[in-house]
Amino acid sequence: MGLVKKGKDLWFFEDLYSDTTYGFKVSKVIVPETDTGFQKLMILETDRFGRVLILDGIVQLTEEDEGIYHEWIAHWPLFALQKPARHVLIIGGGDCGVAREVLRHQSVQKVTMVEIDRMVCDLTRRHMPAVCAGVYEDPRFKLIVGDGAEVIRRMKGKCDVIVIDSTDPIGPAQSLFSTDFYQSVYDALTDGGITIHQTGALILQPFEAPGSWRQIERSFDDVRVVQFANISYMGGPFSLTAGSKGKGVFKNAERNALKAYPKAGFKTSWYSPCIPAHPYPEFQKRLETDKYGEEIVMDIELPSRSLPDAKKVGRWALQTCDAIHMLPFGEAITAGSVRGEGETLVQYVETSAISYRRYGRLAALNCFTCAALPMEDAIRFSIDYFKTQRALCWYLPRGSFADIRKARNNTKIFAYGAGTDGLGKAYRPRLIDSADAFARDFPFFRSGIAPQFELVMDIYDCDYEKIASSAAVAEWAGGIFPKISGLSTVGKVDAPDFGHAKKKTAGPSVVQLFKGGSNISHYAANWLMIVVNIVSDRKFNLGKAVRRTMGYFKGRYAICWLLPRGNTGQPLKKVADNTYIFFVEGK
């Protein structure tokens, strides 16, 4: 919305969210919206908050409360260190608020600030002089106008603290939230060093902090979220995510701060070592356990009297969406049972899908959602709907970023319905080495238990450009994968991008039907992760399929499941014995 006239008054409303905003009355426009070549900059004056810096419609600081953010992001890491900091690197932070606070530490001999947008420096220096008070005059301070992601590569092992004071991961700051960047931040730190990054409002941007947590967890030895609240950043609890080079650095953070702060020789207004700034327990839990989604896979036997027609299956998909509180997206994709392709229906829900596939009297159902899945509701609904007795089920925690053992433990194989008591006894898949799964004599295909099978892949740390592009995804699903696997395609590849409002689920989806199977996958651009489900009744070279897929998307590692489908007649234990999970390391 930006600037809006209300009667005689001029108001500003923030543009960060599409469905909620906050605003203030403007007394004067100091710098009208200016395109800097990197972003749109505006400086406004208000009676209540003093001057306000706005980039791309998002409030970056107000003179009234900038101290809260700048003190926490600067002093928390500096006081948490075991040894006083000497060299501090700031990425972004062109208004110099962070530099101002860092320079108050007498131990600091050098502060390098790398800001990509010179106009942010110049205009805030001119119009908000209190924010950068003293910084430019301090001989310890050096400004580099340039791309932080590049400059940092030349700083190996040089910095005790690296503060990333960026805008949100949209626009010019996008590359500062990538795995490669975090890795070069790690490399630039001294041993025991700390980095800290602004990672958004915990309630209003629920996937920002968990996303950064996952990334930082991969490159750093420890992760910690520091929580505070200010006025400038709407939404209450706001997060800074810190990573350390060296294990156990954060264990002493509070103790170090309590000792160092009284000796520092300056007082703060908002930061205090007596405020531990841990996130609310609910958020901490989510940071550690949040996953991309959950999937329930069900094989059911249809009653012989009446095989459901396409309409009935379509209604099942829509009512399943209702039962699990997911919105359907787009039209269902269907295939008839010509030439043994099987009857298939795929209904997209928010970057995941509900699918049905019938072979004879067996229906193979998948119900994947990116939100919490009310699993029992989903199963019970399908059993009732198709008037069957029992479902053979696999519960898969998808995109959990967990290690393979945890992923195995959280996977459940069970029967549900008549003759079972609730979820009954649940089994785990067999954990094997990828080398065994990829070996020629892998027993899975010889056991005779898998008339159809499903290869499920969660591939992590993929290339952003590849997974954010519908065209690249379509090329893989419609052309490359069928070639690698030898599966023949039925119809055209469908690769929509529904433009989901939630960051967690942003990115394209894909469906490519095969003779005797399908490829249904989703691409989480913000988590750099993809989730793939391939069902087939023809065997293909697993090693080649997984490796080439990882190669195409440049994935660094993958967790794969292999499920025998179409086994409603088999004892549960036998099904579990033939369900596998394995870890694949990328090249």
Q: Mark 13-52 with x for binding to ligand AG3 (rule: CB under 6 A) and - for no binding.
A: ---x------------------------------------
Pick the piece of the chain touching ligand AG3 (CB under 6 A) from 196-204, 336-344, 444-452, 505-513.
196-204
Question: Between 125 and 380, whose beta carbon lies closer to ligand AG3?
Answer: 125
Pick from 57, 67, 77, 97: which binds ligand AG3 (CB under 6 A)?
Answer: 97
Q: Which has the closest alpha carbon to 62: 53, 71, 74? A: 53
Query: CB burial class (10 A; 0-12, 13-18, 19+) of residue 499?
Result: exposed
Question: Between 205 and 536, whose beta carbon lies closer to ligand AG3?
Answer: 205
CA 84, 86, 89, 94 dihedral sign is positive
Distance between CA 499 and CA 470 in Å, rounded?
Answer: 11
Pick from 43, 58, 135, 456: which binds ligand AG3 (CB under 6 A)?
Answer: 58
Shortest approach of ligand AG3 to residue 55 CB, angstroms? 8
Q: Which has the closest alpha carbon to 53: 109, 129, 104? A: 129
Question: Between 112 and 167, whose beta carbon lies closer to ligand AG3?
Answer: 167
| H helices, E strands: number in the chain | 17, 29
Q: Rule CB under 6 A: is residue 71 a binding residue for ligand AG3?
A: no
CA dihedral 504, 510, 513, 518 (to 10 degrees): -30
Q: Rule CB under 6 A: is residue 481 a binding residue for ligand AG3?
A: no
- Amino acid in position 286: R
Pick the piece of the chain touching ligand AG3 (CB under 6 A) from 58-66, 439-447, 524-532, 573-581.
58-66
Q: Choose the catalytic residue: 165, 290, 458, 577.
A: 165
117 is catalytic: no
Shortest approach of ligand AG3 to residue 206 CB, angstroms? 12
Q: What is the DSSP string of 114-153?
A: EES-HHHHHHHHHH-TTTTTTTTT-TTEEEEES-HHHHGG
Q: Rule CB under 6 A: is residue 200 a binding residue for ligand AG3?
A: yes
Pick the piece of the chain touching ligand AG3 (CB under 6 A) from 89-97, 332-340, 432-440, 499-507.
89-97
How many residues in the shown chain lie near ligand AG3 by CB under 6 A?
Answer: 16
Residues 217-256 that bind ligand AG3 (CB under 6 A): 233
Distance between CA 151 and CA 135 in Å, rounded?
Answer: 21
Question: Between 59 and 407, whose beta carbon lies closer to ligand AG3?
Answer: 59
Structure letter (DSSP) for residue 538: S
Q: Write down the residue that tokens 């694949």 correspond to.
A: 584
Shortest approach of ligand AG3 to residue 45 CB, angstroms? 18
CA angle 342, 553, 540 (to 5 degrees): 40
Question: Between 41 and 363, whose beta carbon lies closer to ligand AG3?
Answer: 41
Residue 343 in tokens: 């009857």
Distance between CA 145 and CA 94 in Å, rounded?
Answer: 9
List, in sequence order, every beta strand (DSSP E) within 248-342: 293-301, 328-335
Q: Rule CB under 6 A: is residue 95 a binding residue for ligand AG3?
A: yes
Under DSSP, is residue 248 helix (H, G, I), strand (E, B) or coil?
coil
Residue in the shown chain whose Cβ atom is closest to ligand AG3: 233
Q: Rule CB under 6 A: is residue 198 a binding residue for ligand AG3?
A: yes
Shortest approach of ligand AG3 to residue 66 CB, angstroms? 7
Pick from 39, 46, 60, 62: which binds ligand AG3 (CB under 6 A)?
Answer: 60
Residue 152 in tokens: 């940092």
Question: Between 168 and 461, whose beta carbon lies closer to ligand AG3?
Answer: 168
Question: Between 68 and 367, whose beta carbon lies closer to ligand AG3?
Answer: 68
Question: Between 31 and 402, whose beta carbon lies closer to ligand AG3?
Answer: 31
Question: Between 76 and 233, whose beta carbon lies closer to ligand AG3?
Answer: 233
Q: Which has the closest alpha carbon to 477: 577, 382, 346? A: 346
Shortest approach of ligand AG3 to residue 182 CB, angstroms? 17
Provide, for the chain, the percentages of residues in helix, strand and coil under a 3-state DSSP scheme, each rounded to the nearest 5.
30, 35, 35
Shortest approach of ligand AG3 to residue 91 CB, angstroms? 11
Residues 139-168 that bind ligand AG3 (CB under 6 A): 165, 167-168
Q: Rule CB under 6 A: is residue 93 a binding residue for ligand AG3?
A: yes
Q: Rule CB under 6 A: is residue 367 a binding residue for ligand AG3?
A: no
Q: Rule CB under 6 A: is residue 179 a binding residue for ligand AG3?
A: no
Run of H or E including 460: strand 452-460
Query: CB burial class (10 A; 0-12, 13-18, 19+) of residue 192?
Result: middle
Q: Rule CB under 6 A: is residue 518 a binding residue for ligand AG3?
A: no
Structure letter (DSSP) for residue 39: S
Pick from 61, 103, 161, 520: which binds ligand AG3 (CB under 6 A)?
Answer: 61
Distance of CA 529 to the CA centre of its chain: 8
Q: Which residues are catalytic?
A: 165
User: Could you list the residues that contact ligand AG3 (CB under 6 A)?
Assistant: 16, 58, 60-61, 93, 95, 97-98, 165, 167-168, 198, 200-201, 205, 233
